[in-house]
Amino acid sequence: MKTVLYPGSFDPVTNGHLDIIKRASKMFDEVTVGVLVNSQKSPMFTADERTALIQEAVKDLPNVKVVQFGGLLVDYVVKEGITAIVKGLRAISDFEMELQMASMNKKLNDDAETIFMMTATEYSYLSSSLVKEVFRFGGEIEGLVPTNVYQYMHTKKRV
């Protein structure tokens, strides 16, 4: 079985993330969306909230599961028997950073293959950070995040 891991903070998950998940689900037997638990970040949503929001957004994709993990990505890949890591790219700047991480993962585990997928053009400007910033200042984020995330964000305070 070909299983791919799509790791990220997903704070919040955007329609750009969802595009990559949907496309990867057509290419692989199973897609594991890995919500990173990173104590160095101050997320808008807890790991449990992010996991639940993604699960709701992908509920119609039977070969997608959502998990939380911390520590080294390559350790998780080995432990779970994952075939490859998928990363979405919006721009050249993403490629530079992602190439560095993919190279380090490959150095740590020669079997750690990374597949880069270009995001759909309509989402090439979209990032979780940008969505949060627009939201905090009262801007409209409809169409930038899945409907369930949009609704949930409106229950949160604009801080």
Q: Which of 29, 9, 19 shows the shortest CA–CA distance to 117? A: 19
Compute φ and ψ for 16, nearest 5 degrees. -65, -45
Is 25 an active-site residue?
no
Q: Which of 62, 63, 56 shows the shortest CA–CA distance to 31? A: 63
Alpha helices in 1-127 (DSSP H): 15-27, 47-57, 73-80, 92-108
Length of the chain: 159
Is 41 an active-site residue?
yes
Q: How buried is 3 (Cβ within 10 angstroms: 0-12 exposed, 13-18 middle, 19+ buried)?
A: middle
Catalytic residue, candidates 23, 90, 106, 127: 90
Q: If you search the block for the tokens 């020669």, which residue do you land on?
A: 110
First to last CA, the chain: 44
Catalytic residue, candidates 17, 50, 87, 132: 17
Catalytic residue, candidates 50, 87, 128, 132: 128
Catalytic residue, candidates 2, 41, 79, 136: 41
Catalytic residue positions, numbered: 17, 41, 90, 128
